[in-house]
Amino acid sequence: MEERPRNSDRPARPSNGRPSSRPSSRPSSGRPSSGRPSSDRPSSGRPSSDRPSSGRPSSSRPQSREERPARGGRSDRAGATRQVSQGREVSDPRGFRPAPQERDQSRIRPRIFEPDIPEDVTGEELEKSVRAELLSLSAENAKVVARHMVCVNLYMDVDPELSHKHAVAAAHHAGRLAVVRETAGYAAYRAGHYEIALKELRAANRISGDVSMWPVMADCERGLGNPLKALNLAGSAEVKRLGKSEEIEMRIVASGARRDLGEFDAAVVTLQCKELKNETDEWALRLRYAYADALSAAGRGEEAREWFAKCADLDTDEETDAAERATA
């Protein structure tokens, strides 16, 4: 079998200026219990008047002030401490000092590592449409987020891991913005962190309703070893809302998922469409290459070489090895 190039069935990097775990199950009720005692709890059955006496005769003589015990217990008890109650100190009869009340740690956003941003990066390098989506942030925060997002694009091809760290920092500052979560998803995808990428892209999809990222989400499922989930995404109704470019990318991902399952003939059929005749759109080269590669994987070498030759006709910049594989 002929050697396959890397990522022939992976989605292309988005061209819109943005960089290209198992969830825990919820309890069935979805709500925690109230913690209140139930109304049908049986009572003790003993009226307060039925309590046995201590066995000691009560004294009819009232106690003097000196004879009465100090409120809160004995003042000479070992270990007795003072605690603050509504701004005043009172005695603790048990000698117990409670820890000071701490702030709710769940509401405190933890600090994260933020990579350094080059001084010449201002944030103005972002597209106007992307900068416009940051206007809901404070001016200072928007600038920080914009500069990190510029760095995502800056390092995407040369250092994907550093690009991913900048994306994490941006999402930390603006996690409620779809454009930021989408950027973080693409950066994680390019760095090979498919679980993180899927989480971020799902969040972006929930916020914006944009389905253009679905091909990458499907490929993340492939990266996590879930080709069937990738095929489920590819066959969902939302795919009908994809633009032509994203539709082609989804076909390529679905074909790759078929190959993951060992269904090589089905992978070829998945890519058979009228768009194979297209020679002008930017996705034409990728579609033809994926089709030729699927033919090769299915053992149809002669047909594969024919289509690699057709790829080479479009690949004037020699972005692929189509010309070489056409003569192999």
How far are the Cα atoms of 72, 89, 91, 94, 98 from residue 86, in angstroms, in the given order?
A: 16, 8, 13, 19, 14
**Average pLDDT over every residue of 33-42:** 39
CA distances for 8 relative to 151, 289, 319, angstroms: 27, 7, 12
Residue 260 pLDDT more than 60? yes
Structure confidence at residue 75 as a pLDDT band (50, 70, 90): very low
Tell me the one-letter amino acid at 241.
R
Stated pTM of the model: 0.68
Give the integer Cα–Cα distance in Å for 260 and 169: 34
Q: Residue 283 falls within a domain, yes or no?
A: no
Partners of 81 in beta bridges:
92
Q: Could you tell me if 322 and 312 are in contact, meaning their C-beta atoms sit under 8 angstroms apart?
A: yes
Separation CA 328–CA 1 (nearest Å): 12
Q: Is the pLDDT of residue 15 over 50?
A: no
In a domain, 256, yes or no: no
**Which is more confidently placed, 106 or 136?**
136
Q: Which of 4-13, 44-53, 174-183 has the lowest mean pLDDT?
A: 44-53
% of residues, the chain, pLDDT over 70? 66
| Cβ neighbours for 273, distance < 8 A, ≥ 6 positions apart | 251
Place of tokens 């070498």: 301
| pLDDT attached to residue 238 | 87
Summarize the confidence of residues 94-120 as an average pLDDT: 63
- Specify burial of residue 271 (Cβ count, 10 A radius: 0-12, 13-18, 19+): buried
Q: Could you tell me if 93 and 77 are in contact, meaning their C-beta atoms sit under 8 angstroms apart?
A: yes
Indicate the residue type of 78: A
- CATH number for the domain that contains residue 170: 1.25.40
Alpha-carbon span 88 to 317, nearest angstrom: 80
Length of the chain, in residues: 328
CA angle (145 as vertex; 143, 149 as ends), nearest 5: 115
| Number of compact structural domains in the chain | 1
**High-pLDDT (> 90) share of the chain, %:** 65
Q: Would the pLDDT of 104 be above 90?
A: no
Range 134-142 average pLDDT = 96
pLDDT of residue 164: 97
C-alpha 133 chain-centroid distance: 20
Q: What is the pLDDT of residues 299-313, one digit of tens each?
A: 999 999 999 999 999
pLDDT at 303: 97
Q: 55 in a domain, yes or no?
A: no
Amino acid at 144: V
Query: Does the residue 159 lie in any domain?
Result: yes
- For 241-254, write each residue's pLDDT tens digit: 999 999 999 999 99
Give the residue numbers spanning the domain of 204. Answer: 113-210
The answer to whether residue 121 is domain-embedded is: yes
What would the mean pLDDT of 145-153 be, rounded to a whole number?
Answer: 97
The 8 Å CB, 24+ separation contacts for 307-315 are: 311/285, 313/279, 314/279, 314/284, 314/285, 314/288, 315/285
pLDDT band at residue 328 using 50, 70 and 90 as cut-offs:
confident
Q: Is residue 11 assigned to a domain?
A: no
Report the alpha-carbon distance of residue 159 to residue 192 in Å, rounded.
12
Question: Is the per-residue pLDDT at 139 higher than 80?
Answer: yes
Q: Of the given ranges (38-52, 77-91, 169-183), which has the lowest mean pLDDT?
A: 38-52
Residues in Cβ contact with 151 at an 8 Å cutoff, skipping those fewer than 6 apart? 115, 117, 118, 121, 162, 163, 166
Q: Number of H helices and number of E strands within the chain?
A: 12, 2
Report how far residue 77's alpha carbon sits from residue 99's, in angstroms, rounded to the nearest whole number: 21
Maximum average pLDDT range among 103-107, 236-240, 270-274: 270-274
Would you place residue 113 in the very low, low, confident or very high pLDDT band (cuts 50, 70, 90)? confident
* Cβ neighbourhood burial of 25 (10 Å; 0-12, 13-18, 19+): exposed
**pLDDT for 189-208, tens place per residue?**
999 999 999 999 999 999 99
- Token reading at 28: 């069935």
Is 160 within the bounds of a domain? yes
- Local confidence band at 58 (pLDDT 50, 70, 90 cut-offs): very low
Mean pLDDT of 169-173: 96
Average pLDDT over residues 257-264: 98
Output the pLDDT for position 109. 52
Residue 158 lies in a domain: yes
pLDDT of 176 > 50? The answer is: yes
Q: Over range 147-161, report the average pLDDT.
A: 97
